[in-house]
Each structure stands twice: as C-alpha cells, then as structure tokens.
Structure 1
Amino acid sequence: MVKKIAQGIFGLGGVILGYVIGDFLINIPAVKELGLLSEYYRTVLFMIFICLIFGIILYLVSPKIYKAITEVIEYVEKNIQKLSIGEIVYGAVGALIALIITSILAKPLLDFHEILGPLIVVLLNVIAAIIGMDIMIKKKDDITNILVNIKKNGSTKDKKGKSISRSIPKVLDTSVIIDGRIFDICETGFVEGPLVIPNFVLDELRHISDSSDSLKRVRGRRGLDVLNRIQKELNIETQIWEGDFPKIAEVDSKLVKLAQHLNGKVVTNDYNLNKVAEVQGVSVLNINELSNAIKPVVIPGEEMVVDVVKDGKEASQGVAFLDDGTMIVVENGKRFIGERIDVLVTSVLQTAAGRMIFAKPKEN
C-alpha cells in the first residue's frame, strides 16, 4: 500500500517537474523566435505532453527510487544506533552550522528560478548538513579537548572540589585498575591528573566481573570498587572517555591509540602493553617498575593467610592469589588445595612483568 502511494506521489512530482521544465523551455528566447509554440493551443499541448512524459517516467522508476530511499533510511538507522549520545549531539551541531553557512552562501541561487532555485538550495543544504555532521563526529575528541583547555585557566577546583590542572593525561588500563595500587599512589600525590578511564576499559571490567570464573569475577568487582574509590575519595580530576576506535579490536591497541590521541601516558602493570606502547613511542608509567624501586609489599619471614586454589608447575606446589591477582607459590602446598592455611614468605620475585611470592606452610 505504501509503495503504491509512493508511486502516485512520484508520478505527481514528475508532472510538476515537467510543468517547471516546460515553462522554462517556453520562455527561452531561441524557442520563442522559432514560433512553433506561438499559438495558445500548441503551448497547452506541449505543456501537457511534457508533464505526461515526466510523470510517466518518474512513475515507472519510482519502485527503484523507493527501494533506494528505504535502503538509505535503514543504513542511517543502523549507523545512528552505533553512535553515542555525544556523537549525535556533535553531529547535530555540525549539521546546524553547515546549514547556516550554506543558507547564506546559496541565497543568490533563490533568484535563479522560481522553483528550480529553491530545489537546488535544498539539495545543497542536505549535502552540507551531511558533510558538517560527518566532520564534527570525526573531530569531536579534538573539539572537546580544545573546549576543555579553554575552560581550564590554571589549576582550579570543580564542583566536587577535585583539583584540575594542565598535566599530561594518564590513561588507565584494566590491569592497573584491578591491581588497586594506583589509588594509593594517587592518594600520596605522586601522580597528578587527569586520570582518563576509557569506556572500553569499563566494558572490559564489567565483562570480567560477570564472568563464570569465580577468580575473574572477584578481580573484576575489585576493579570496579577501585574505580569507585578513585572517583569519590581522591582529590584528583578523573575523566570517562566515551569514544571508541571501532576499527581496532584489541583493548591494548586502543589504549595506545588513545594515549597518542590525547598526547598522554598509559598507566599499566601489563608487561606486554608496556613493550607495545614503547615501540609506538607512547610513554608508560608501569606500576611494577615503580614497585621495584620501593620496598616490597611483603618481605621474607612475613606470615600470611591464603586460600590454596590449584596445583603449581612442580609436583608438590600449590598456588594461591592475593586480591590484586598476585600469585603465591606455596611449596608442598598441593595437599592443601581448597583449604585456607597460614604460610611464611620465603622470597619475593619482582619484575616488570609482575610480582610473584614464594612461601611455605607454617609449621604448627
């Protein structure tokens, strides 16, 4: 039914277009000099002929036009669903600016023809709106950074009383959030903001916290708790970066790309990400490297209470984990799998790849 109505509308549009073109042709001086349409009935017949021709043509091609319009609408709907609220707002602003500029520049075209002039202006406005929207969406992050930099006049305080400065942005990765030590480091004032938390890192944390694996689930929830504390308890600027890099699949690659985009640094304790970032010229703040330069969290001879969850590489070894994911290798701990036991730390191995604690069961 809708298709038939559309055909009728296109046919009527063809008749109107034929009338406009016919009227244009009749008023051409060269056609007037020929005298072929000098008599009234000839003019009427010519106009009827032109209107019918264009009406029939548009009526016949209307199914293809209707199909093309339907495909365009579906394409637009799919792409709009992929856009965030921020991108839609930026796109609307870009389209509005483009429409204002085009309306001013294309005003002389309105005098070109009574009907064709406005049609051309409308077409130019549509094209300009699409271009303006596309440019604003692609450059939204740059525009946001410019607006933020304009807003910042030295170090000020936001509504929550958090300090805002012009320091280099620090992009947090998933591992360093789960680790939790970044909170203590920021609390001491050794790291300045802004701390940038990408939306795709938040998605990864939510995915980990919903995992069927109990260990992963605990780590994911710990990461979300750490983020919550960073935002509420620290007197430091934090930003949630809502953009994404759809063409990049891996989170690590996205982090490096974001750090390049913001001219910032990546904060991590992931050894592989550390190396990838260094290769691409991105500065890295590695929490494990910082830990190497200060006193270890645990020292040999210290007592700990751990849950042995699985066996180790060696036949008699058991493995436990701290809340931050640090592995504890318990010598002769295989027989205690599934139990909570007291252990004595024998040594601590700290490298850029992470920390590993070796321990043995405490003798009762």
Structure 2
Amino acid sequence: MANKAARIIITIAGFAIGFQIMFLILYFNSYLGFFRLDYLPTLAVELVGALIIGIIFYFLSPRIINTCIKAKDWIENKLQTTPMQDILYGFLGTVMGLLLANLFTRAFLGIPWIGGYIPIIFNIIMAYLGASIALKKKDELSNIISSSLGTLQKKKKKPAVINLVKPKILDTSVIIDGRIADICRTGFIEGTLVIPGFVLEELRHIADSSDGLKRNRGRRGLDILNKIQKELDIEVEIYEGDFDDIAEVDSKLVKLAQILEGCIITNDFNLNKVAEFQKVKVLNINELANAVKPVVLPGEEMMVQVIKDGKEMGQGVAYLDDGTMIVVDGGKKYIGDTIEVVVTSVLQTAAGRMIFAKPKSL
C-alpha cells in the first residue's frame, strides 16, 4: 500500500514538473521562435508534455523509491556512527547558512521566471557551506563556547565546577594485556573507562584471525572487557563514533582523547610517544608496573638462579620473580646454579628496569 501511494505521489510530482518545464519552453519559444504552434492550443501542448513526463516518472518510480530507501539507510548509519557534537555543530552551521541565504536572495526574487529558482539553489549551497565550515572549526567553536560560559560564570560570581577526573580511553594492547582489570579492581582507576568502537572492531578482527596465537589474544581481550563490564564496580562507556578520514587506530585514539579531553591507557611504547608529542596524557601500564617494583640499591645482596648466558662475554642472565632481568658479570660459569650476587648498578628505562650484579664470591 505504501509503495503504491509513493508511486502515485512521484507520478503527480513528475506531472507538475513536466507542466512547469513545458510552460518555460513555450515562454522562451514565444520570444525566440524555435518552432511554431499556430494551430495548437498552448494549454494542450503543456498538458501533453506534462502527461508524458508524468508517465516517465511513473515507470521510474520503483528505482526512485529504492534509491530513497538506500539514501535513508545510509543517512541513519552515518548518524549512528557520528558523534553528537558533530551533529549539533553541523545542524547549527546549516541553520546559519540558511539564514544568510534568505537574507541575500531577496534581491533575486524580482527576476522574471528564474527568480524563484535562484533562492533554492543558493539555500542548498549556503546550507552545505555552513555545515562544512562548522564541522571543520568545531574545536575552535568548542573553545569559544567554553570561554564564553567561563566568563558568564565569573560575572555571576559563581565558582566554576572543575571536573578533575578525566575519562580513561583503553587501547587494544592494554585490553589484550589484561592487567587493566586487576588495576581497576584495586580502585586506583577513577572516572569512566571509554572503549572506542574502532578498538572493539580491531579486537574482533584479531579474534577471528586464522593465526592461532592472534585468535587467542583477541578472545582474551574480549573476555577482559566482559570481566570489567560485568564484575567490576566501574563505569564503562562504549564510544560508537569513528574517524573515517583517519586510517590508523593509534591516531584515532589520540584524536578521541583530544575531543573528550581524556587520557589514554596503554602499554604501547610508540603510542605513548605519539600521544605525548600531541600533548595527550598517557597512563602507561608498564611504567606503573616498574614504579611499584621493589627498590634495589647498589651494594644490596640477593640470591638468584643464573638461567642463560648474556650478550657480552662471560655474562650470565637471571630473573627476579617480577620478571626483572639481572645481568651477572662473570656469571656464565654459574648457569643452572643458584648463587648469591651483589648489585653493582640499576638501569631504569621506559621499557623496564635492568639490574647489573656480580657474584659475591668474586
């Protein structure tokens, strides 16, 4: 029923368009004399032309309806994946463009026959330009609005409310790592955990990988997310928006952190450096793990088991229970033995901590 009604409406619209087209053709013909209509009534010619175009529209109506349905679905999908901030700025930009268009197009209304069409074209152009400019300048507009609200609050002599707890955005590597769930359980993480939709999509691709190791890592990441959402007392938010103009997931995370004014939780060394360069705060799980390791000072003695030889001649390598590497100078001959060593120095880097020692007997 709806399909038949849509076809009738399209046919009527085609008839109206055809009548208007024929009217314009006959009008210009009266001045230019392309062809003669001495024995044909003008109204009859207009009705015949309108009827022909109406019939054409009737036969094209199924294709027009399908195109409209596809356009509707595309618009709905775009709106679902577009951040609300972008929608609001785009709407405001469109309204401003239409207001400007209606102010300037009044001068064209007096032009015969085409004066009624110029405002329509101008409205479309200005609406597009208004929305496009508003979206490109959304960061500047946000700063202007924030500054205006701050000035208004100062004038009213009301203390500004500052939200010190920033949202925490999780990247793929820290989700797969799994330690974030244990940290959240301890209560050291405050605020909302934001899980971007493009990170979930990357996890899904990893979980569906043909490589067994990648597949297990992806499924572990999805299990960690379910654990955080269902078992832990912390707010979790799924960010459905995406940045189609950005290909890399790391770049999308940095952009999202800038928009939400949040910080990224990661253990990816490269992402850490890129985010810091763009002045985005980063919480690195590896740095946290290094910070809470027991402090070891030069001259301290400990018992270690030398497991393998080191890179340099005569060196042996041992490990503490927390995974810290100990390089034992002259320890190659003690491989497989548990010996007492004396710490000579400690090297701390962003990638971890390394302890240098020598056998106590030396």
TM-score (normalised: structure 2): 0.55
Structure 1 counterpart of 2:81: 82
| CA-to-aligned-CA distance 1:105-145 (integer Å, 9 cap, x gap) | 2223444457x654553344234323322332232123213
Deviation at residue 34 of structure 1 after TM alignment: 9.1
- Is the Cα–Cα contact under 8 Å of residues 300 and 348 in structure 1 kept in the other structure? yes
Structure 1 counterpart of 2:30: 30
- Is the Cα–Cα contact under 8 Å of residues 312 and 329 in structure 1 kept in the other structure? no
Structure 1 counterpart of 2:223: none
Distance 1:218 1:298 in 2: 22
- Is the Cα–Cα contact under 8 Å of residues 92 and 133 in structure 1 kept in the other structure? yes
Deviation at residue 81 of structure 1 after TM alignment: 0.9
- Is the Cα–Cα contact under 8 Å of residues 208 and 220 in structure 1 kept in the other structure? no
Aligned with residue 298 of structure 1, among 279, 295, 299: 295
Structure 2 counterpart of 1:125: 123
Which consecutive residues of structure 1, in runs of 5 or more, have no partner in the other structure?
A: 164-194, 230-240, 304-310, 321-326, 332-344, 360-364
2:59 is the counterpart of 1:56: no
Give the letter for the 1:226 counterpart.
I
Deviation at residue 97 of structure 1 after TM alignment: 0.6
Distance 1:318 1:32 in 2: 97
Give the letter for the 2:133 counterpart.
I
- Residues 19 and 32 of structure 1: is their aligned pair in 2 closer, same or farther, counting only changes over 3 Å? same
Structure 2 counterpart of 1:217: 181
Deviation at residue 98 of structure 1 after TM alignment: 0.9
Give the letter for the 1:202 counterpart.
I
Give the letter for the 1:133 counterpart.
A
- Is the Cα–Cα contact under 8 Å of residues 90 and 136 in structure 1 kept in the other structure? yes
Aligned with residue 228 of structure 1, among 191, 196, 200: 191
CA-based RMSD of the aligned residues comes to: 5.4
Deviation at residue 283 of structure 1 after TM alignment: 6.7
- Residues 120 and 12 of structure 1: is their aligned pair in 2 closer, same or farther, counting only changes over 3 Å? farther
Deviation at residue 74 of structure 1 after TM alignment: 1.8
2:1 is the counterpart of 1:4: no
- Is the Cα–Cα contact under 8 Å of residues 97 and 130 in structure 2 kept in the other structure? yes
Give the letter for the 1:219 counterpart.
I
129-138 vs 29-38, which deviates more? 29-38
Give the letter for the 2:83 counterpart.
S
What secondary structure sits across from 2:348 in the alignment?
Answer: strand
Deviation at residue 285 of structure 1 after TM alignment: 8.7
1:159-238 alignment to 2 at 5 Å? 159=159, 162=162, 202-204=169-171, 215-219=179-183, 225-228=188-191
- Residues 100 and 272 of structure 1: is their aligned pair in 2 closer, same or farther, counting only changes over 3 Å? same
- Is the Cα–Cα contact under 8 Å of residues 271 and 354 in structure 1 kept in the other structure? no
Give the letter for the 1:82 counterpart.
T
- Is the Cα–Cα contact under 8 Å of residues 102 and 125 in structure 1 kept in the other structure? yes
- Residues 21 and 287 of structure 1: is their aligned pair in 2 closer, same or farther, counting only changes over 3 Å? closer
Distance 2:81 2:91 in 1: 15
- Residues 286 and 38 of structure 1: is their aligned pair in 2 closer, same or farther, counting only changes over 3 Å? closer
Deviation at residue 36 of structure 1 after TM alignment: 4.7
| CA-to-aligned-CA distance 1:183-212 (integer Å, 9 cap, x gap) | xxxxxxxxxxxx895x7x52439x957x6x
Distance 2:275 2:170 in 1: 21
Deviation at residue 267 of structure 1 after TM alignment: 11
- Is the Cα–Cα contact under 8 Å of residues 266 and 283 in structure 1 kept in the other structure? no
1:1-364 alignment to 2 at 5 Å? 1-28=1-28, 30=30, 36-37=36-37, 42-112=41-111, 117-118=115-116, 120-149=118-147, 159=159, 162=162, 202-204=169-171, 215-219=179-183, 225-228=188-191, 245-248=243-246, 250=248, 252-254=250-252, 271-273=269-271, 276=274, 298-300=295-297, 317=319, 319-320=321-322, 328=324, 348-355=346-353
| CA-to-aligned-CA distance 1:70-94 (integer Å, 9 cap, x gap) | 2222221111111111111111101
Distance 2:101 2:306 in 1: 70
- Is the Cα–Cα contact under 8 Å of residues 265 and 283 in structure 2 kept in the other structure? yes
Give the letter for the 1:126 counterpart.
I
Distance 2:99 2:318 in 1: 76
Distance 1:91 1:77 in 2: 15
- Residues 283 and 313 of structure 1: is their aligned pair in 2 closer, same or farther, counting only changes over 3 Å? farther
Distance 1:243 1:214 in 2: 24
- Is the Cα–Cα contact under 8 Å of residues 95 and 132 in structure 1 kept in the other structure? yes
Distance 2:82 2:325 in 1: 47
- Residues 352 and 4 of structure 1: is their aligned pair in 2 closer, same or farther, counting only changes over 3 Å? same
Distance 2:45 2:142 in 1: 59
What secondary structure sits across from 1:106 in the alignment?
Answer: helix
Distance 1:257 1:11 in 2: 48
TM-score (normalised: structure 1): 0.54
Identical residues among aligned pairs (%): 33
